[in-house]
Structure 1
């Protein structure tokens, strides 16, 4: 008798679970969605997150709140999202810093960039520029090398993310400058000290630097991509300026949810986000910001993230950076 009663009870429980899952997905979203960014207000990530968040809000019919969680080279934000409930109400606008470089820059990473996330959409690439303060008598890469060799004691470079760190370390190793690395919580803080002349040079994404370059407080000397960028055609590449091929660094940006995001919710978010980043309006705005549009759906973005982790691991090793 006990056995005959047990089976219907189990069946009823399983039926309830099966019904609850689709019903929950069908109701999504029923509350605001948080989009976490790993860097501070005014950074390139923050600007792009707010641009996309505004359109996603209209598509979902719910508020999309951009929340900045800077610090520890993006680890704070990534760890928060990795541990969030996989219900579609916490997503992350991430970069190669959090998902490609950090596994090689830190010995004890609290999250796995592949296993702990659900890829939703690839957004864009950010070319970086080698920049110095307008206060310094430096107008070219050659000028920077001469200045650095004449002032070796006070020579340093600032960075607020891993692309800036790896680019500057690679440049430093390639040129033999032996500058001191100075980390910052976020790119805007690093730029403030560059502009003020408290740090010598940095590699900064064009999106964050453009307003300062146009205002004349920051001077861009070269781009970090191997060839000249269409976004800054008057600037030589670092490879071109040094006469040495192979220097090629740019940051990628994409959006993730936590791992185990229910497939219907992941599909809804991925489809809406891909429509947004593929639109001519958003691609045009990204170009205006200093980004190269690279829209790709989750099916292509997932393999790209796996491949990029290996690529950036090689870049970290080549730059001679030791994991902390």
Structure 2
């Protein structure tokens, strides 16, 4: 979501193996967010960069992690990941993960996110619920936020004996609800932030508490430049994406959902967790705002632990494309340690 061809979704363009570049040139384009999506006047959408889905596995040959797909509600689904157990009754930290993709592409089932979550489950020894929320522009925001909140409520409801949900045996048997984490990358990190802020004013079922929040390359933006950003940057690609996915957002790009430091945004002291990890990449257009976010949480006297990690020489969500580089391994280790501590 940088304004220049060298950034964020252009990174996808150069590294995605299954890019779909053919679009219907006979229809009139309404919104052109190439190389990500095109929206036509008949409201059809070409997703130019969706990656291929991969199936779940009863046991990944490399990690030993088991995965399966579940239905949470009529509109919300998820892929669950269970690491190899040392004890059949072992309790594990629980991570609810929200994937990135600018709210318009990707899912828990695509190659990049399946691989990432599988590795994270193995390294953190955590039970992970990777949420499939509905995508814009067919389902404009705030629908993705509502779907994500529904998933969190469903997970928390497992602590209630007579809950009116269909419980999952992995979550019931192995979930340690004293170690509940929320996390995500890019748009998913934006969701994770907003979900944990909402949990500060709306108690979860069973009075479940969130222990930690991690945000990786969070999609935060605003009308005012931060750090190295210029005024021209602020009306570029990231701005256009937000206008596409949430055209009715009050105060536009300074809506608190996209700009958590906006003048009228809820105080970050309301984050309903006690541990925060913010992971950034040096060359990412979102990094100046990500740093400001972490610094703001510290300055307001939030009663929790804040950790900031900035990986040098890398761009937005670099670890997705090749998780086996040294820098990707380093970042994944930081996140896994945060969850397993």
> Shared fold by TM > 0.5?
no
User: Computing the radius of gyration over CA atoms, which structure comes out larger, 1 or 2?
Assistant: 1
Higher helix share: 1
Q: TM-score of the superposition, structure 2-length normalised?
A: 0.28
Bigger relative contact order, structure 1 or 2 (CA pairs below 8 A, ≥6 apart): 1
Q: TM-score of the superposition, structure 1-length normalised?
A: 0.29
